[in-house]
Homo-oligomer: A and B are copies of this chain.
Amino acid sequence: MKEAVVLLSGGIDSVTTMAIARAEGYAVYALSFNYGQRHAIEIEKARHMARVLGAKKHLVLDIDLKAIGGSALTAMIDVPKGRGSDEMSRAIPITYVPARNTIFLSCALAWAEVLGVFDIFIGVNALDYSGYPDCRPEYIAAFEHMANLALKAAVEGAGKIIIHAPLLSLTKAEIIRRGIDLGVDYSLTHSCYDPGFDGKACGRCDSCLLRLKGFREAGACDPIPYGTV
């Protein structure tokens, strides 16, 4: 059976990516991170989704990105709320975590090498990417090239690392439709950058707004509860 490492955050994109990998016949090693994010509730959602989608193994890796700081997702900086989509796409927001995808993909590489796996899935997408530079196709291609020079297994010719980014050119609405077709239960996912104490999504951060817009455009109903604003 084909095997892959899938980066799984518990949000719509990574969950849909894992469902796609499963549908393509991969046995999945799911990898999540406890990196000091303020929305650590996503780790519980990831654990749940890893079980529901039949992960062969789920590893939650501890890495203290809070010590590095520089993001509203790990530091005590307010998450921006109520921004329009024009405003979101104009500049890279402070919810950007410096080099996060690079760090996550690097750890996925390490685990892939230990497992003898060459396929890695990541749920980045370039359209509704909210301005993050490490969600663009040229970045993914450059990472893949670097990976094949870094790893013992690749250098010794045992295989070639492939970074799969199946959502790269999809809109959020297309991602959601794809997931619904694959039977994904989005009531178990989490997207909000700034959930309340009850774990409910705020409905006003960039991530919530993109999610709600996605469901609206997909003609579907978002099944998660939102907190009162």
Contact = CB atoms under 8 A, between A and B. Distances in A.
Interface stretch (A39-47, A146-154, A201-209): A146-154
A136 interface: yes
B62 A64 contact: yes
Contact of A110 (B65, B142, B146): B65
A147 B145 CA distance: 12
Given A92-B156, A102-B146, A147-B102, A68 B63 contact: no
In the complex, which of the residues A96, A107, A146 has the most CB atoms of chain B within 10 Å of its own CB atom?
Answer: A146
Contact of A64 (B63, B106, B147): B63
A99 B107 contact: yes
Contact of A59 (B67, B103, B134, B149): B67
B110 A152 contact: no
A103 B112 CA distance: 13
A109 B114 contact: no
Nearest to A156: B92
A101 interface: yes
Contact of A142 (B106, B107, B111, B145): B145
A181 interface: no
Nearest to A140: B149
Given A139-B146, A146-B143, A152-B92, A110 B70 contact: yes
Which DSSP category, helix, strand, loop or mixed, fits chain A's interface?
Answer: helix
Interface residue range, chain A: 35 or more
A24 interface: no
A133 B114 contact: no
Interface string A125-146: 0000000111010110011011
Interface in A156-198: 156
23 contacts: A61-B64, A62-B62, A62-B67, A68-B110, A70-B114, A98-B151, A98-B152, A99-B106, A99-B109, A99-B110, A100-B110, A101-B150, A102-B110, A102-B150, A103-B103, A103-B107, A103-B110, A133-B151, A134-B150, A134-B151, A136-B149, A142-B149, A142-B150
